[in-house]
A and B are shown apart, each in its own frame.
Chain A
């Protein structure tokens, strides 16, 4: 707030400056106050008013007319009286607010004008502390300091004066100024960080000079300069210089774009990058094919060679409209204006439109995939050795198709059962037939006991099951086996005559027929009701199962126990006939293969554990991995399915490499190999590695197709296959009456 007190002053400033007492400043102040107040009233015409509205009016009127000032003055005088009254009551009644400035500072106030009522300049007021005056007014008179109050007065006025809180001291004049309500309001607003002027509207209605509305008269209407059409000469030179350099293959010293020093601290995110990219719809746009441009023939005035001769015209007229080379006849007009309306115009436009919208112009999204990438990466068969690779031995001796083979657990011999009613025992290494057993009927299945402590084979001939002491190999084992059979007789003399199964034990010294059978090696004959199709041993070598698909619901599977001469029928009611059964190599599970699925039964708990869906129509064979967690199933519809029993009840992998029905599948007991024998005369050997690590799936790689067997008739390729228990060799029994060894 600018100070504008005009005070009476003594004669010369300089004398005052030099000779002034220091002690009586307060008194002097008071004196000067009194005087000043009088002076104020004399000199200053503009009264102070507490009323803000009045004040505003006065300011406004002040700007307008002198008359208003006069009026205001009179008006404010009255007001002054009021304030003085109130002030007087609170302060000293005699010295009516002598110390208080009475002038409305706003009257003079304008931001661009310095307060010149005190001419001391921009010096600290403290320098005048020892004088009675403070500087000089415009006329050169001393501005006398108002009389300053002492502490007591100050205290009293603090209590009594209702205006004390709004009294402020003006340093330049030393007077007290009572702030008006306006001032107080102003201070309050500033404190609250509002606009100082209460009437100031920070958001006035915006009147745009240039509007979006199109006005009749544009703001500027001068035409574009001619220069803007002419390429700049400087640019042209610069460009030609660059071109010359390019031609001379010189380095263009273009200003280098500075790269940011460290990318880590310079992140530039183009948040609109996706918006700038052309939309997909536009990218996929394919322009419509253009219409053919007219040639000379279409001209209204074509050269004469384009015009039809009479024959051509005849031709043209006689051909079908679709077959014509041109769909119009060139015609000659002298002038363009002679050309008549083109009658086909609308039709052609219509056809064009039809063409455009009926023909979809879309890019065909073709996946560009290298077909070799789709093939999984498999190790080379060479790295997966050993596996059987070539035909090594042919066992010749049978006269009809060999149905079944089974290898001795020690790997020196194997037996084969054939349609020529014989079972032969062969020495593996030399291909020598050691023994031959002859039966009345064709042999459907043979199986060597997996327990090497027993020298037992079981052979199924039609409805009979023969248990044979094979009599090769270790003599002690052979003798022990015979003792075992002798015990059977002693234990239970009476022969059970079951309607379904009939056990007949052959003893050494009985009738001639039987003793002959004994000499041959036949120890037990078990007669069944139905034809036996398959035999399988339990790994312990005491139980074996016979499968009779014709046996219907109840008798399709019979499990025999050799040591107790007992037979049991595990399945009471079966909806479908069982084709094959298999014992788990280590756990009490029995796999029963039906035509389309495999059921796994827990024999210990007498319950169904799992059902495997094989995805095939006619299941033919089943084999289990020696570790017992994986199963392969061959089917007559050419498929071989690998099941991971822990993984799922659906095939982990289905292989289809045979051209005809698969007859038999087999696992190697030692090497990671399995084989499948098929009617197409081949045995396919596949590497099937099972990992102990549960997270790793089995690796299945077909490694070798073994050929050699002749196919005979519709069904007759390889009928059975089996692995050597120790060597990576596979045996195959064929319908061509041979057995082949691949090593």
Chain B
């Protein structure tokens, strides 16, 4: 049994310890290191409350003993680590355990969820959209569609103002896509609990499975293999629709109304040979330029689209049909769930070598939904057909950080748009909310 000289570093200043090397046995694991750090910290600070830390060695999260960890890391590169060198171990405060916060019963399967700071919306298979407060209070059920709702999405206020849509402070805008081939833009007032259908986006030939918003540009993917780009802004459209209404004076008032609110796509992009299952904007937090669009499909490909030209830019090929995808603004990586047990991390910027940066395998069924953390670049959650929601760290492929248990059937949707809540919906009609504490607080 060998021993290592270990030097501890941290990026979190308040937990910094003197940079002295420590001699540790290679069979030491996270527990021993934890005890050591806590002991050192308590020496310097008398009022120290013991904290749990995670340890990063060579940018990989330590799960078992140091020796095994090093073996795993170096099995990939083929190098041999000598015990002579100083081993640098970075320690971070352990991610707090998400706590089961609430479980909300719906009338039917929950197929899609989206949250913002105050509200949760979910779409169900009976065509209803439910709106809840984050504390679990049910606000309203909207009989939005005649067929299952496949995706819901909040519209940011900023993009609304850009689009020239009038709204008040209590108004929330969101969109929903459904099997009935329509995408609808809704306005909801929290105080009056009034719901308005503002626009209906028609054009897809099969069920619309995914929508994504970037400012006032909406992208939607459908089972008809096509991606359509829509504009939310009323400016040009309104005049047109008015003209149309003048010509059709004899038409039914409802029909006229429908005509008024119906929107058509700006353009359509075809390229996928099978259904488009998820779509994501590759937004850049720094620049407000036109950004690319990524779409994943059942034809085993992820395609990147240039929206300015309206053409395909590049293709990432996988081996299985993709079911879900998400893009993180923080680390600019794509993460996908597909019709197998694996979650794959892609780097859309790299052109050479293996496009899959890492594979996360712990689910026992298809991974149906996936979502990045909006605040921490290494964290994401996934929901699978094995009834589990799992929280992952990209630096640890072996095992998830936490298994979030609770659902009794296939998890269909997960959402972490509000950093404080992990929300999951499943085919057991339940929507479960897990609270995530911020360890910096």
The answer to whether the Cβ of A392 comes within 8 Å of any Cβ in the partner chain is yes
The answer to whether the Cβ of A474 comes within 8 Å of any Cβ in the partner chain is yes
Please tell me if the beta carbons of A474 and B412 are within 8 angstroms of each other in the complex: no
The verdict on A432 contacting B148 (CB below 8 Å), with A474-B206, A727-B321, A727-B339 known, is yes
The answer to whether the Cβ of A259 comes within 8 Å of any Cβ in the partner chain is no
In the complex, what distance in Å separates the CA atom of A431 from the CA atom of B366? Answer: 12
- List residues 352-370 of chain B with CB under 8 A from any CB of chain A: 365-366, 368
The answer to whether the Cβ of B154 comes within 8 Å of any Cβ in the partner chain is no
Contact of B223 among A412, A475, A743 (CB under 8 A): A412
Please tell me if the beta carbons of B365 and A430 are within 8 angstroms of each other in the complex: no
As a 0/1 sequence over residues 461 to 494 of chain A, the CB contacts with chain B under 8 angstroms (1 = contact) are 0000000000011111000000000000000000
In the complex, what distance in Å separates the CA atom of A72 from the CA atom of B323? Answer: 141
> What A residues does B206 contact at CB under 8 A?
410, 412, 473-474
The answer to whether the Cβ of B257 comes within 8 Å of any Cβ in the partner chain is no
The verdict on A430 contacting B275 (CB below 8 Å), with A392-B365, A743-B340 known, is no
Of all chain A residues, the one with the shortest Cβ separation from B340 is A743
In the complex, what distance in Å separates the CA atom of A361 from the CA atom of B274? Answer: 74
The verdict on A410 contacting B223 (CB below 8 Å), with A726-B298, A727-B321 known, is yes
**Nearest CB of chain B from residue A410's CB, rounded to whole Å:** 7
Of all chain B residues, the one with the shortest Cβ separation from A385 is B319
The answer to whether the Cβ of B125 comes within 8 Å of any Cβ in the partner chain is yes
> What B residues does A412 contact at CB under 8 A?
206-207, 223, 275
Contact of A431 among B205, B339, B410 (CB under 8 A): B410
Please tell me if the beta carbons of A432 and B181 are within 8 angstroms of each other in the complex: no
Please tell me if the beta carbons of A432 and B109 are within 8 angstroms of each other in the complex: yes
As a 0/1 sequence over residues 222 to 258 of chain B, the CB contacts with chain A under 8 angstroms (1 = contact) are 0110000000000000000000000000000000000
**Nearest CB of chain A from residue B208's CB, rounded to whole Å:** 12
Please tell me if the beta carbons of A393 and B385 are within 8 angstroms of each other in the complex: yes
The verdict on A430 contacting B298 (CB below 8 Å), with A392-B365, A474-B224, A475-B180 known, is no
- List residues 421-457 of chain A with CB under 8 A from any CB of chain B: 427, 429-432, 434
In the complex, what distance in Å separates the CA atom of A345 from the CA atom of B240? Answer: 131
> What A residues does B427 contact at CB under 8 A?
430-432
Please tell me if the beta carbons of A475 and B181 are within 8 angstroms of each other in the complex: yes
**Nearest CB of chain B from residue A486's CB, rounded to whole Å:** 22
In the complex, what distance in Å separates the CA atom of A392 from the CA atom of B366? Answer: 7
Of all chain A residues, the one with the shortest Cβ separation from B223 is A412
Of all chain A residues, the one with the shortest Cβ separation from B364 is A390
The answer to whether the Cβ of A540 comes within 8 Å of any Cβ in the partner chain is no
Please tell me if the beta carbons of B205 and A411 are within 8 angstroms of each other in the complex: no
> What B residues does A434 contact at CB under 8 A?
148
The answer to whether the Cβ of A68 comes within 8 Å of any Cβ in the partner chain is no
> What A residues does B179 contact at CB under 8 A?
472
Of all chain A residues, the one with the shortest Cβ separation from B181 is A475
Please tell me if the beta carbons of B148 and A411 are within 8 angstroms of each other in the complex: no
Contact of A726 among B207, B274, B410 (CB under 8 A): B274
The A interface is mostly helix, strand or loop, or mixed, namely loop
> What A residues does B180 contact at CB under 8 A?
475
In the complex, what distance in Å separates the CA atom of A81 from the CA atom of B385? Answer: 148
Of all chain B residues, the one with the shortest Cβ separation from A729 is B339
B residues contacting the other copy or chain, number (CB 8 A): 30
**Nearest CB of chain A from residue B50's CB, rounded to whole Å:** 44
In the complex, what distance in Å separates the CA atom of A547 from the CA atom of B111? Answer: 41
The verdict on A430 contacting B340 (CB below 8 Å), with A410-B206, A412-B207, A412-B223 known, is no
**Nearest CB of chain A from residue B204's CB, rounded to whole Å:** 9
Of all chain B residues, the one with the shortest Cβ separation from A743 is B339
In the complex, what distance in Å separates the CA atom of A427 from the CA atom of B149? Answer: 13
**Nearest CB of chain A from residue B366's CB, rounded to whole Å:** 6
The verdict on A429 contacting B323 (CB below 8 Å), with A392-B366, A412-B223, A476-B205 known, is yes
Please tell me if the beta carbons of B319 and A392 are within 8 angstroms of each other in the complex: no
The answer to whether the Cβ of A386 comes within 8 Å of any Cβ in the partner chain is yes
- List residues 131-181 of chain B with CB under 8 A from any CB of chain A: 148, 179-181
**Nearest CB of chain B from residue A37's CB, rounded to whole Å:** 128
Please tell me if the beta carbons of B125 and A432 are within 8 angstroms of each other in the complex: yes
The B interface is mostly helix, strand or loop, or mixed, namely loop
In the complex, what distance in Å separates the CA atom of A472 from the CA atom of B339? Answer: 23
Please tell me if the beta carbons of B205 and A386 are within 8 angstroms of each other in the complex: no
**Nearest CB of chain A from residue B335's CB, rounded to whole Å:** 19
Please tell me if the beta carbons of A430 and B111 are within 8 angstroms of each other in the complex: yes
Of all chain B residues, the one with the shortest Cβ separation from A391 is B365
Please tell me if the beta carbons of B181 and A430 are within 8 angstroms of each other in the complex: no
> What A residues does B111 contact at CB under 8 A?
430
Of all chain B residues, the one with the shortest Cβ separation from A726 is B274
**Nearest CB of chain B from residue A408's CB, rounded to whole Å:** 11
In the complex, what distance in Å separates the CA atom of A430 from the CA atom of B385? Answer: 9
Interface centre among A411, A430, A727 (most CB of B within 10 A): A430
In the complex, what distance in Å separates the CA atom of A90 from the CA atom of B285? Answer: 151
In the complex, what distance in Å separates the CA atom of A386 from the CA atom of B368? Answer: 20
- List residues 199-233 of chain B with CB under 8 A from any CB of chain A: 205-207, 223-224
In the complex, what distance in Å separates the CA atom of A432 from the CA atom of B368? Answer: 14
**Nearest CB of chain B from residue A388's CB, rounded to whole Å:** 10
**Nearest CB of chain B from residue A226's CB, rounded to whole Å:** 85
As a 0/1 sequence over residues 370 to 394 of chain B, the CB contacts with chain A under 8 angstroms (1 = contact) are 0000000000000001000000000
Of all chain B residues, the one with the shortest Cβ separation from A477 is B205
> What A residues does B299 contact at CB under 8 A?
726
The verdict on A430 contacting B339 (CB below 8 Å), with A386-B319, A410-B206, A411-B274 known, is no
Of all chain B residues, the one with the shortest Cβ separation from A431 is B410
> What A residues does B274 contact at CB under 8 A?
411, 726-727
As a 0/1 sequence over residues 96 to 128 of chain B, the CB contacts with chain A under 8 angstroms (1 = contact) are 000000000000010100000000000001000
- List residues 387-416 of chain B with CB under 8 A from any CB of chain A: 410, 412
Of all chain A residues, the one with the shortest Cβ separation from B274 is A726
Of all chain A residues, the one with the shortest Cβ separation from B148 is A432
Please tell me if the beta carbons of A430 and B410 are within 8 angstroms of each other in the complex: yes
**Nearest CB of chain B from residue A480's CB, rounded to whole Å:** 12
**Nearest CB of chain A from residue B386's CB, rounded to whole Å:** 10
Interface centre among A410, A427, A429 (most CB of B within 10 A): A429
> What A residues does B412 contact at CB under 8 A?
430
In the complex, what distance in Å separates the CA atom of A392 from the CA atom of B386? Answer: 9
In the complex, what distance in Å separates the CA atom of A208 from the CA atom of B365? Answer: 107
In the complex, what distance in Å separates the CA atom of A475 from the CA atom of B207? Answer: 10
Of all chain B residues, the one with the shortest Cβ separation from A476 is B205
As a 0/1 sequence over residues 709 to 733 of chain A, the CB contacts with chain B under 8 angstroms (1 = contact) are 0000000000000000011010000
In the complex, what distance in Å separates the CA atom of A392 from the CA atom of B367? Answer: 11
As a 0/1 sequence over residues 336 to 350 of chain B, the CB contacts with chain A under 8 angstroms (1 = contact) are 000110000000000
> What B residues does A411 contact at CB under 8 A?
274-275, 298
Please tell me if the beta carbons of A474 and B339 are within 8 angstroms of each other in the complex: no
> What A residues does B181 contact at CB under 8 A?
474-475
In the complex, what distance in Å separates the CA atom of A434 from the CA atom of B146? Answer: 12
- List residues 155-197 of chain A with CB under 8 A from any CB of chain B: none
Of all chain A residues, the one with the shortest Cβ separation from B125 is A432
> What B residues does A743 contact at CB under 8 A?
320, 339-340, 366
- List residues 286-336 of chain B with CB under 8 A from any CB of chain A: 298-299, 319-321, 323
As a 0/1 sequence over residues 277 to 291 of chain A, the CB contacts with chain B under 8 angstroms (1 = contact) are 000000000000000
> What A residues does B205 contact at CB under 8 A?
474, 476
> What A residues does B223 contact at CB under 8 A?
410, 412
Of all chain A residues, the one with the shortest Cβ separation from B319 is A386
**Nearest CB of chain B from residue A709's CB, rounded to whole Å:** 18
> What B residues does A475 contact at CB under 8 A?
180-181
Residue pairs across A and B with Cβ atoms less than 8 A apart, 7 shown, are A412-B207, A412-B275, A430-B410, A434-B148, A474-B181, A476-B205, A729-B339
8 A-B pairs closest in CB distance: A474-B205, A743-B339, A412-B223, A726-B274, A474-B206, A727-B321, A392-B366, A432-B125
Q: Which A residues are closer than 8 A to B by beta carbons?
A: 386, 392-393, 410-412, 427, 429-432, 434, 472-476, 726-727, 729, 743
Q: Which B residues are closer than 8 A to A by beta carbons?
A: 109, 111, 125, 148, 179-181, 205-207, 223-224, 274-275, 277, 298-299, 319-321, 323, 339-340, 365-366, 368, 385, 410, 412, 427
Given contacts A429-B323, A473-B207, A474-B206, 5 further A-B contacts (CB under 8 A): A392-B339, A412-B275, A474-B181, A474-B224, A475-B180
